[in-house]
Chain A
Amino acid sequence: MSEVTREGPETASRGEICAVAAAEAFRGDGEILASCFGIAPAIGARLAKATFEEDLLMTDGVCTVVDVPNPVSGPGHDLVVEAWLPFRAIFDHLWNGKRHVIMAASQIDRFGNQNFACIGEHAQPKAQLLGMRGAPGNTISHKTSYWVPNQTQKVFVEAVDVVSGVGNDRAAQLPATTTRGHCLGRVISNLAVYDFETPDGAMQLISLHPGVGLEEVIDNTGFPLIVPDEANIAQTRLPTAEELRLIRETIDPEGFLAREVAN
């Protein structure tokens, strides 16, 4: 009895809700490579693969595709390698398009232009961050979602300082052959879930995490956010008992998630 109570959906932390929202971002993706920046997305991809998207491919974080990826925390297990995927093959793979990445965003605007290269003028930034990394090639080639563990007006901005990941307004200016692979999936933050399924490809709110009000989201968004039906805003779904068990016992036994998302 106590077991059931411990795993009950009502015991889900904010981080676990985010991880499940990340898993949901992969729903329907089928047999593609799922890649992640951050702990909640890494848990989400493992959850999706273990439950409703079993054909997803995941890597060991180095250079092989593995059938059951290691936990994000705690001791690893013997990995069964499915394929070799060194960096050179990653570029071939991603330009080919069979991938969905959840990337980090130091800044993101309402059309999903993303920046994790630097803050300030690129010539001499106030803060140099990761650099362009693979964001330009990723976003033009395959599906991309974003994870924002701490949504504020400094992250959800009117205009990003540098565009590393290509947003929908910029993609719309390119010919259709060029953007054949461009597809923005979801934005998952510590507060809510968003997508870009609007006529002009602008970001819209699709669900609030339990305990978060619309006002809190708007206060932490630096651009006019589309809220489709204010009176009937969905709540981000709670993890199932099975999902909570997987997260707590198998995927994140040491609770790394709590370090990334405050409850």
Chain B
Amino acid sequence: MDKRTTEREAVSEIRDGMTIGIGGWGSRRKPMSIVREILRSSVKDLTVVTYGGPDVGLLCNAGKIKRLIYGFVSLDSIPLEPHFRKARQTGSIDAAELDEGMLQWGLLAASHHLPFLPTRAGLGSDVLSINPDIRLVRSPYEDGEKLVAMPALELDIAFIHMNRGDARGNGQYLGPDPYFDEMFCRAAKQSFMTVEKILKTEDMASAGPLQSRIINRTMVDGVIEAPGGAHFTECPPDYGRDEVFQKSYAATAKDEEAWLRFKAEYLDLENEAEYQAKVRLR
């Protein structure tokens, strides 16, 4: 089956109020071409589950997020995400802030179709008081220990970005860390994968080791070839983070005029191809 599609088609699957998951980590290998397409759409009231980076900042700024489920939001080389901070400090989003490991546990529970997975992470901290919907469970064994029952984080749609993929939806990461991308896909009813380059399946073996082939085609409903699709986050070995661009993005949070200029220049565009052309022209 040929699953090749476009950002526009993929984003058109999102309905108002849906829960979407975004792969990557901080400002690393984020499906940014999808995020940019969401900004162009009219979709709203999203619940977003992610190890947050500029994806969260941009979606917050555009008023797309109703509820955010996250462990942190960071630009890595810039520790705090300024647009996300602004959203939090003006109370414009509902924040379900978790321990980073709890987020993994919720994705894993959803990908196994379990109602929850137990963990000690969260006990004694305010994670439980700020997330009153998270309950405890008692071990059924002799120890009888009360543990956090981290509920499954079921997603309507997941979006991930990989270095390579084939037209059928097999995906390959070539960087140092897989993050949690396959868990996002399995936790979702529907998943879309952007890739730097679509290869013939038989050519993927020479692109990287067997262990890099973490996404199989049962996890993916649509594949989009998106060279530079993770920009301005990093996507090694294809490219590093565009620190200059990220810095100018972050600076716009403090200055409304600068933000409007940034938005006009890089976001109020017809499509991803225009964005990539603008970025190349800098």
Contacts and interface: CB of A to CB of B under 8 A. Distances in A.
Interface of A: 62-64, 86-88, 91, 94-95, 117-118, 122-137, 139-141, 162-166, 170-171, 173-175, 177-179, 181-182
B124 A171 contact: yes
B93 to A, nearest CB: 10
Contacts, number: 135
Given A87-B25, A117-B97, A177-B145, A136 B177 contact: no
Q: Which of A87, A128, A131, A134 has the most CB of B within 10 A?
A: A131
Given A122-B97, A134-B99, A87 B177 contact: yes
Q: Is the interface of A mostly helix, strand, loop or mixed?
A: loop
Contacts of A137: 99-102, 119-122
17 contacts: A63-B177, A88-B180, A94-B101, A95-B120, A132-B100, A132-B125, A133-B72, A134-B71, A134-B101, A136-B121, A136-B122, A141-B121, A165-B125, A170-B124, A173-B124, A178-B124, A181-B120
A69 to B, nearest CB: 16
A140 B124 contact: yes
B99 to A, nearest CB: 4
B80 A130 contact: yes
Interface in B104-141: 104, 119-127, 130
Interface residues of B, number: 42
B237 interface: no
A90 B241 CA distance: 23
B80 A129 contact: yes
Contact of A166 (B119, B124, B147): B124
Q: Which of B25, B70, B79, B97 has the most CB of A within 10 A?
A: B97
Contacts of A135: 99, 125
